[in-house]
Amino acid sequence: MVIEELNDHQQLIKKVIDLLTCDIEAGSEMITSVIKAGNKVLLAGNGGSAADAQHIAAELSGRFVKERKALPGIALTVDTSALTAIANDYGYDHVFSRQVEGLAQPGDLFIGISTSGNSQGILNAFETAKKIGCKTLGLSGRDGGKMNGLCDLNIIVPSQVTARIQEMHILIGHILCKAVDDLF
């Protein structure tokens, strides 16, 4: 079982290298241009994708590898009062879009993470971010889902397996953070 899991992971990494290198480079350029301009990065996802959003935000506001100033990376998944109040008053599908509406400015970057690309709350947040004038970056899997039509760039991990998609999402997140570190 262990060897099978590791082999599946290794095969997917090879596909990611072959198919997604240009997209990951474009995502790296997107996040670094936002940081260079003095804007912030907002991130959201559900379940394991929420954990990935928080992880990436922490790498920005803390540090990834290099010592550098703190950067504005905000996970929209961590404020339980906002999440529960918005879910109660507007429905769960609006927990991220309401926060984007309140926190985002033109030129910011919204990163939405959804393994299926079809999480309604993430889709709504992308729509709101676009209306505000934010750049939008998706991390998805399978066929990219409805996120394909809502993101400036949707990095689609070529897998149907949620666990493999999530493994690649955090790897891609680390590559984005490395690109930010390289600015400093």
Q: Tens digits of per-residue pLDDT, 32-83?
A: 999 999 999 999 999 999 999 999 999 999 999 999 999 999 999 999 999 9
> In the prediction, which pLDDT does 103 show?
98
Summarised one tens digit per residue, pLDDT across range 87-143 is: 999 999 999 999 999 999 999 999 999 999 999 999 999 999 999 999 999 999 999
> In the prediction, which pLDDT does 35 show?
97
CA distance 98 to 86: 7
> In the prediction, which pLDDT does 159 show?
97
Q: What percent of the chain has pLDDT over 90?
A: 99
Cα-Cα-Cα-Cα dihedral of 116, 121, 126, 132, to 10°?
Answer: -170
> In the prediction, which pLDDT does 106 show?
98
> In the prediction, which pLDDT does 11 show?
96
Q: Is 41 within 8 Å of 53 (Cβ atoms)?
A: no
Domain boundaries, the chain: 2-183
> In the prediction, which pLDDT does 102 show?
98
> In the prediction, which pLDDT does 113 show?
98
Dihedral of CA 33/34/39/40: which sign? negative
Q: What is the pTM of this model?
A: 0.97
CATH number of 2-183: 3.40.50.10490
> In the prediction, which pLDDT does 38 show?
97
> In the prediction, which pLDDT does 141 show?
98
**H-helix or E-strand containing 41?**
strand 41-45
